Amino acid sequence: MAKKPLIDQLHHEDAWRLFRILGEFVEGFETLSEIEVPLVSVFGSARFGEGHPAYALGYRLGRALAQAGFGVVTGGGPGVMEAVNRGAFEAGGVSVGLNIELPHEQKPNPYQT
């Protein structure tokens, strides 16, 4: 069984990496705090496409939330996340996607304000 790393085993570069991650975290919260409508976070599968009932439900949910004065926050990817963002976006609401950039991973969906 692999030995569990201890804090005193961290390297100098690891400590600075933690500070960079913390900085990104703070920056994200500051950016979200500038949005002037209440936000609803929605989680959903990236694997359900436009033809799936969950996609249609996500779209209707995003649209209804936007029409009720809420913004939506998703992981910003395809599938249900895209559907929710798309519904809010097409209803003229705030649509946020919190996607990360990794090689060979999902691309951000285009329905984000």
Which domains does the chain show, CATH number per domain?
35-103 (3.40.50.450)
Q: By percentage, how much of the chain surpasses pLDDT 70?
A: 93
pLDDT of 33-66, one tens digit each?
999 999 999 999 999 999 999 999 999 999 999 9
Task: Give the count of beta carbons closer than 10 Å to the beta carbon of residue 41.
Answer: 12
- Is 8 a residue whose pLDDT tops 70? no
Edge to edge, the sheet with strand 71-74 lists 39-41, 71-74, 95-97
97: three-class secondary structure by DSSP: strand
- Is 11 a residue whose pLDDT tops 90? no
| pLDDT for the residue 6 | 62
Q: Identify the burial level of 56 via C-beta atoms within 10 angstroms of its C-beta, where 0-12 means exposed, 13-18 middle and 19 or more buried.
A: middle
Q: How many residues does the chain have?
A: 113
Mean pLDDT of all residues in 87-113: 89
| pLDDT for the residue 10 | 65
Report pTM: 0.80
| pLDDT for the residue 100 | 79
Percent helix / strand / coil, the chain, rounded to 5: 45, 10, 45
| pLDDT for the residue 106 | 76
| pLDDT for the residue 9 | 64
pLDDT of 75-89, one tens digit each?
999 999 999 999 999
